[in-house]
Chains A and B, each alone.
Chain A
Amino acid sequence: DAGVTQSPTHLIKTRGQHVTLRCSPISGHKSVSWYQQVLGQGPQFIFQYYEKEERGRGNFPDRFSARQFPNYSSELNVNALLLGDSALYLCASSPQGARNSGNTIYFGEGSWLTVV
């Protein structure tokens, strides 16, 4: 079975531009989360979606937005890119039920974003 897939794997953007990152969860998983990992740090939670609704939001500015589609895939959008947005963006999926029940969260390989 395919794991969590993300695209693109690498991209370079200029300050002020917009970027869209895409994620397909493991088949059967309805919960998708996004994390940002800056070099030298642990991943930081950005968003979680379950059944197409936002269920959690981390401490990120409104320039960051996301959505989940009927097939449970997801997009992360970042507007007005800053140099500090350069990071590895990780998508994760889990067979999450209505509440946190300790299901394993599986991560994709990530999308490397460089802002110049």
Chain B
Amino acid sequence: AQSVAQPEDQVNVAEGNPLTVKCTYSVSGNPYLFWYVQYPNRGLQFLLKYITGDNLVKGSYGFEAEFNKSQTSFHLKKRSALVSDSALYFCAVTVPPSGYSTLNFGKGTLLLVSP
């Protein structure tokens, strides 16, 4: 079975400070990992993904994530938070070649950036 855990229900950070949203995974095999963001009453927007190669992945809106195989983690980071980054963030995993890109999502982490 494959799963992800987002241990924090909510992360609070002041604008301009760095932010980290944590994600750990549990899979058999090598994972494909994704981060999505959801604004209120909206669908999911793709931020970035790790498939293979460089462990540091850069994505949209200045976000990046680091794949750490030994710690089975894929934490989302940004160097300087914006108030507009406030949203719900989801980590997701899928494992090739089994399945047709079915994503298993974490429960989400609410990021609140204060002015």
Contact = CB atoms under 8 A, between A and B. Distances in A.
Do the two shown chains form a genuine complex with each other? yes
Contacts of B92: 42
Interface residues of B, number: 29
Contact of A56 (B52, B102, B106): B102
Given A41-B107, A42-B90, A100 B97 contact: yes
B44 A100 contact: no
Given A42-B108, A105-B34, A107-B36, A100 B43 contact: no
A9 B44 CA distance: 14
A104 B49 contact: yes
Interface residues of A, number: 32
A42 B105 contact: yes
Contacts of A108: 43
Interface of B: 32, 34, 36, 41-46, 49, 51-52, 90, 92, 94-108
